[in-house]
Amino acid sequence: MSPVLLLRVAGVLLLALAAIHPFMPARFHWKEELARISLLNRQIFLVHVFFIGLVLVMMGSLSALAPELLVARGPLAQLVAGAFAVFWFARLVTQWFVYDRSLWRGQSFNTAVHWLFTFLWIYLTATYGYVFWLQTR
């Protein structure tokens, strides 16, 4: 499969992930949960969630709309592809070693989501890692 197509698919997946962000507060009962923490922590949390969504839109847009820029040889494309690969690898590691397993084990929906995101993080790590590797050879 061509790296441009792999990047376009990655971009669409990232944009889809960004698109579900507005539905997360209701799914995870953030209104009730966040009411129990200080105003400062609540606002930090909400700002971080917003910027995570923004990063997903930016990464997804670059990958879906201009993948040629990431596969064109050059130090900037190499740096961006390498940084994206490290970012998604770190997210993959977080999925398995930061989140407590009790959050998903024995719960069919949460287990399915855990595995879905595991495969998504693997795909993103592999795609950007492959593009980075192409840049370095």
pLDDT in tens, 21-40: 999 999 999 999 999 999 99
Helix (H, G, I), strand (E, B) or coil at 83: helix
> What does the pLDDT average to over 58-79?
97
pLDDT at 95: 96
Q: Look at the chain and report how many structural domains it folds into.
A: 1
Give the pLDDT confidence of 3-19 residue by residue, as tens digits.
999 999 999 999 999 99
User: pLDDT over 90 for what percent of the chain?
Assistant: 99
For residue 63 the two structure tokens come to 């990958």
pLDDT at 91: 98
User: pLDDT over 70 for what percent of the chain?
Assistant: 100
For residue 47 the two structure tokens come to 């700002």
pLDDT at 135: 94
Which residues span the domain enclosing 75? 3-136
* In contact, 134 and 3? CB cutoff 8 Å: yes
* In contact, 136 and 96? CB cutoff 8 Å: no
Question: Closest Cα partner for 87 from 49, 130, 125?
Answer: 125
